[in-house]
Amino acid sequence: MSSAHTFSDRDPDQHKRVSTKSNPGFLERLSETAGGTVVGIGLFFLSIYVLFTNEGRALQTASSLDEGLSQVVSLGPFLSLDPQNNNRLVHLSAQLRTQQPLHDPNYRVVVQAVKLKRQVEMYQWVEYRESKDYQENGETKTETTYTYNTEWKSELVNSRNFDKEIGHQNPSAMAVESVTVVAPEVRVGPFILSKGLVEQIDNFQTLSLRDFSAFNLDPYLSIDDDYFYHTQQPRRPEVGDVRVRFSFAGLSGETSQLGPAQTVSLVAMQRGEQLLPFKTKSGDVLEILYLEELSAEEVFAREHQHNTMKTWGLRAAGWALMFLSIQLTMRIIYTLVDWVPVLRELVSVGLKIFALCVSSSLSLLVIAAGWLFYRPLMAAALGALALLPVLLARSRLPAKKNE
């Protein structure tokens, strides 16, 4: 049974609420621990899946990259639609081109780029909660402090979920929506980029509004710090005020005040004037774009680096999942002794050390099993190399006996 009451402070934007509940009994704590054990078992099998399949994924990606590098055709600086390269993997470096500039008529923004993003923020109330538990009269009490601040937020904050909505109400919708406009056709030389390649153009830069003159603005707009404000007092906003910032990615104009057109390096399949995904025999799809000028060898070297980083990242994630799963599974032992303070602390430390050791050993075993399954020849070669000193030592024993 729990009860709650509120203490009002002098600050209208902060208050406290205290809730009280009886300490759970032994059987109740045991029941909660059993639920954690079930979750722990599920996480344990998930960690094994992540660790095992990651080795196969890493090998497949590495093989696909090696296959791609052995087949890729570099088109050089003079790009042309050579029919002999149809359905082949090609590499090229050149500047982006789009036919028409992107524009936002509401704010009279025009940019010759691949993408134009309009990011909208509204000045809103935001609730923060900070809780602390303490024991009093054999009961557990939770004191929660609620604080309310006004901030610029890009997402709509629903004030109906606040503990104290009175005096902290937000509008139910934004007057302007965020949106990203993408050029309908993006070219590099004579080639049209696929949707997957265009998605990789994400080097967004904030559009400077220094050159926007006051007479170009509507009366309800003002400019401050590269933002359009829907108020004439941007330094003293009120709840519900809106501000808008623009950013662009992939400059594609031949002449622009924002700078030269973006140079990109691509690896994809040529089919006519289209650049499309290339399916390798190893199983991966190659559709690579870098926002700089790189040779084919440099592109594939970067991809190998990313594959290595992803492999080790997933190994670490799999180990962390296994460590957490073992802790949850063994939590029932802690619950059985938590009524003895000294023993409780010793068991807590012991369980953490146990989980650390077991998760590290099991993770290595699962990774080793992955190597045996996905790379049997390499695993066999390493095993033979490891047994070589033992075999050499045993081969010398009979010789010594004969002497």
38 pLDDT above the threshold of 90: no
22 pLDDT above the threshold of 80: no
Could you tell me which of 265, 292, 106, 290 has the C-alpha nearest to residue 181? 106
Instruction: Look at residue 102 and give its three-state secondary structure.
Output: strand
pTM of the model: 0.80
Return the pLDDT at 254. Answer: 73
Of 1-5, 335-339, 393-397, least confident by mean pLDDT is 1-5
Q: What does the domain layout of the chain look like in residue ranges?
A: 26-60+310-402, 74-124+149-294
d(CA 195, CA 217): 35
d(CA 82, CA 303): 27
| Residue that wins the pLDDT comparison between 117 and 368 | 117
Return the pLDDT at 1. Answer: 43
Q: 375: Cβ–Cβ under 8 A, 6 or more apart, which residues?
A: 55, 59
Q: What values do phi and psi take at 201, rounded to 5?
A: -85, 95
pLDDT tens digits, one per residue of 147-175: 999 999 999 999 999 988 898 999 999 98
3 pLDDT band (50/70/90 cuts)? very low
Helices (H), 98-213: 195-199
Task: Compute the average pLDDT of residues 303-330.
Answer: 93
Return the pLDDT at 395. Answer: 72
The structure tokens listed for 270 are 């040529």
Q: Report whether 267 contacts 248 (CB < 8 A).
A: no
Return the pLDDT at 306. Answer: 97
352 pLDDT band (50/70/90 cuts)? confident
Task: Compute the average pLDDT of residues 325-329.
Answer: 85
Of 43-47, 55-59, 221-225, 316-320, least confident by mean pLDDT is 221-225
286 pLDDT above the threshold of 90: yes
Return the beta strands (E) in 156-253 as ranges. Answer: 179-182, 186-188, 191-193, 205-206, 222-224, 227-229, 242-251
pLDDT tens digits, one per residue of 179-214: 999 999 999 999 999 999 999 999 999 999 886 655
As a whole number, the mean pLDDT across the chain is 85
Return the pLDDT at 135. Answer: 73
d(CA 1, CA 94): 70
Query: DSSP secondary-structure letter at 200?
Result: T
Of 224-233, 252-261, 304-313, 338-347, least confident by mean pLDDT is 338-347
Percent of the residues in the chain that have a pLDDT greater than 70, as a whole number: 80
Looking at the chain, the number of H-run helices and the number of E-run strands are 5, 20
Q: How many residues can be counted in the chain? A: 403
Question: Which residue's entry shows tokens 């003159």?
Answer: 213
Q: What values do phi and psi take at 221, rounded to 5?
A: -110, 150
30 pLDDT above the threshold of 60: no
Query: DSSP secondary-structure letter at 176?
Result: S
Could you tell me which of 262, 250, 252 has the C-alpha nearest to residue 293? 262
Task: Compute the average pLDDT of residues 216-222.
Answer: 77
Return the beta strands (E) in 163-237 as ranges. Answer: 179-182, 186-188, 191-193, 205-206, 222-224, 227-229
264 pLDDT above the threshold of 50: yes
34-71: burial string, b at 16+ Cβ within 10 Å, e else: eebbeebeebbeebbebbbebbebbbbbbebbebbbee
Task: Compute the average pLDDT of residues 12-21.
Answer: 74
The structure tokens listed for 26 are 């032994």
d(CA 125, CA 146): 12
